[in-house]
Amino acid sequence: MLKKIILILIFLFIFLLFWAPWLADDGGEKAVSILQQKDFYKQEMKELATSSCDGLYTVWAPFGRLVKYCDIESWYVVFWGKVF
């Protein structure tokens, strides 16, 4: 019985990391704000600023969120806040 409980807890923990709901607060604004704090993002946005676009938006990705800019550029923000 204890093994089943431990197995369920491990599964729930992995599922929680996989879903990463804390990055989805306010429609993904948390993931966008993490990205905007990075210096490389500011440099890339200066290069992309010439195109007209609706701006940044997020979509779900395993263990984090994918932050996209007009389907031109995208960045992956993992559940602990690192940007790739």
Does the pLDDT of residue 25 top 90, yes or no?
Answer: no
What confidence category does residue 57 fall into, taking pLDDT thresholds of 50, 70 and 90?
confident
pLDDT at 64: 93
pTM above 0.85, yes or no: no
Following DSSP, what letter does each residue of 8-59 receive, concatenated? Answer: HHHHHHHHHHHH-GGGSHHHHHHHHHHHHTSHHHHHHHHHHTTS----EEEE
pLDDT at 46: 77
